[in-house]
Amino acid sequence: MSEHIDDILASARAAVAAAPPTGDPAYARYCHELAALLAEHWPTVLKANADDVAHAEQRGLPPVLLDRLRLTDAHLDQLRRLTATVHAELAEVTAPGPGVPIGDWGVRRRAPKPLGVVFMVFEARPTVTVEGALLPVAVGNAVLLRGGKEIARTNAALAAVAREALEAAGLPAHLVTVLDDPDRRQLRALLKRPDAVDVLVPRGSPSLIDYCRGASSIPVIASGGGVNHVYVHRSADLTLAAEAALDSKLPEPTACNTAELMLVDESVAAGFVAEVVAAAERDGRPVTVRLDARVPRPEGEGEGHCWRVEALQEHDFGREFLDATIGVYPVAGLDEAVAHIRRYGSAHTEGVIAADTAVAEEFTRRVDAAAIVVNGSLRLHDGPTLGLGSEISISTGRMHVRGPVTLGALITHSWVVEARGTLRSSVPAPRS
């Protein structure tokens, strides 16, 4: 085991050293080659994926998790668009900084450099495998990818595509390594190698992220952990609040930027629930609403509607439902909503729906999260949607990057100082 890990890490480190500098045209070629080869080998990828999904079904995985595993032609279109977007962003992200005069003796500028060897640990989402093989590598990093064992066959097929694309672009093949050993001993061993791994990117459930943080001293870009809330103030347009709630949950129930719990002022809680079920019924959107006992249950319950009501329990606080379920909890006002978020939130995405601008401003001042959405869907917290560029994940940490982890967050910089023969002893000391 240790020898095998040593070989993996040595190959990744050697690939970074052998790769051309960040910004070299080879990385743009890699984007093109990866898109073309994904399309060429997509039938093979889909066959491997179908085998993974079939095995997952035999193991009894629920439908919402099976959907996370399954690839379709729509995913290919999505991934090809991503490669084109990354290609378009490269020139600006990797451009050297402008020269800035230093007194009368020199010039300083920043030069982009890769972070080094990036270790991504993620759950069973095959699109993340492609994202991980694309974004870090496009700016010069080597990446180790460890996805969930449920997509082992899919990942093997995608790894072959990435290697072929690297070679076609003239880049070292070991800039991408898909780890195929499901043994958790391998994960534990890699987490103990800060000497060889520069950055750890865990992407998935809070338990996965907490495990990686606790088991490793490698610097972490923490991603995921979407225990998110929306506070609905009594001044809110309840129709907007209901649509924001459904849009924040139903299109992708397991995503990290979805809403779990609506914190609704007591005086409008019943009206809000009525708007939610009416909106769901109008468009045929199946949803489960978990209601606190203090909120009256909506009329017509149990009559064959696409919505249903369950009881909200205390153990639902601070958890992700991971399905088309949203909780509704009445609060006395802004203070109670903020206190609840501080206690149970994961600092990922929080929202407020309020026509009263003073309330919205106070909410944004007092709530601390990677993104705070005012009068809209939590799913707006997304790098491309916000105009920030392609993202590999959304970080809830405080150091290095917070929010969308874009290409610019996957590089560091060196200061280049043009000294023109200047010695430190000849430079006047700065005035205090």
> In the chain, which residues have pLDDT < 70?
1-3, 224, 302, 432
- What's the CATH number where 356 sits? 3.40.309.10
d(CA 317, CA 345): 9
Asked if residue 422 is part of any domain, the answer here is no
- pLDDT of 1 reads 56
Residues 207 and 275 in one domain: no
Q: Are 292 and 328 in contact (CB under 8 A)?
A: yes
Residues 376 and 404 in one domain: no
323: CB partners within 8 A, 6+ apart: 62, 64, 253, 254, 288
Residues 249 and 200 in one domain: no
Residues 218 and 250 in one domain: no
Residue 19 has phi, psi (to 5 degrees) of -70, 150
d(CA 376, CA 395): 21
In total, how many domains does the chain have?
2
418: CB partners within 8 A, 6+ apart: 99, 106, 107, 108, 109
- pLDDT of 224 reads 63
Asked if residue 147 is part of any domain, the answer here is yes
Residues 237 and 188 in one domain: no
Residues 204 and 322 in one domain: no
Between the alpha carbon of residue 347 and those of residues 232, 344, 397, the distances in Å are 18, 9, 9
Please choose, from the candidates 189, 183, 177, the residue with its C-alpha nearest in 3D space to the C-alpha of residue 215. 189
Collapsed DSSP state (helix, strand, coil) of residue 264: strand
The residue count for the chain: 432
Domain range for residue 328?
Answer: 229-380
- pLDDT of 432 reads 62
- pLDDT of 3 reads 60
Asked if residue 55 is part of any domain, the answer here is yes
- pLDDT of 431 reads 72
Residues 340 and 401 in one domain: no
339: CB partners within 8 A, 6+ apart: none
Collapsed DSSP state (helix, strand, coil) of residue 268: helix
Q: What is the pLDDT of residues 113-138, one digit of tens each?
A: 999 999 999 988 899 999 999 999 99
Asked if residue 403 is part of any domain, the answer here is yes
Please choose, from the candidates 84, 31, 219, 136, the residue with its C-alpha nearest in 3D space to the C-alpha of residue 408. 136
Residues 116 and 248 in one domain: no
- pLDDT of 255 reads 87
Indicate the pTM of the whole model: 0.89
Residues 10 and 135 in one domain: yes
Q: Strands of 136-237 (E only): list them.
A: 142-146, 176-178, 199-204, 223-224, 229-232
Q: What is the pLDDT of residues 289-339, one digit of tens each?
A: 999 999 999 887 767 788 999 999 999 999 999 899 999 999 999 999 999
Q: Are 363 and 338 in contact (CB under 8 A)?
A: yes
Asked if residue 328 is part of any domain, the answer here is yes
Cα of 172 vs its chain's centroid, Å: 27
Asked if residue 432 is part of any domain, the answer here is no
d(CA 123, CA 68): 9
Instruction: Output the CA angle 112-10-404, nearest 5 degrees.
Output: 40
Residues 235 and 215 in one domain: no
Side-chain half-sphere exposure of 89, counting CA atoms within 13 A: 23
- pLDDT of 327 reads 97
- What's the CATH number where 27 sits? 3.40.605.10
Side-chain half-sphere exposure of 96, counting CA atoms within 13 A: 13
Q: Is the dihedral of CA 43, 393, 199, 116 positive or negative?
A: positive
Tokens of 375: 């009068």
Asked if residue 250 is part of any domain, the answer here is yes
- pLDDT of 2 reads 60
- pLDDT of 341 reads 97
Residues 45 and 169 in one domain: yes
192: CB partners within 8 A, 6+ apart: 215, 216
Asked if residue 210 is part of any domain, the answer here is yes
Residues 365 and 411 in one domain: no
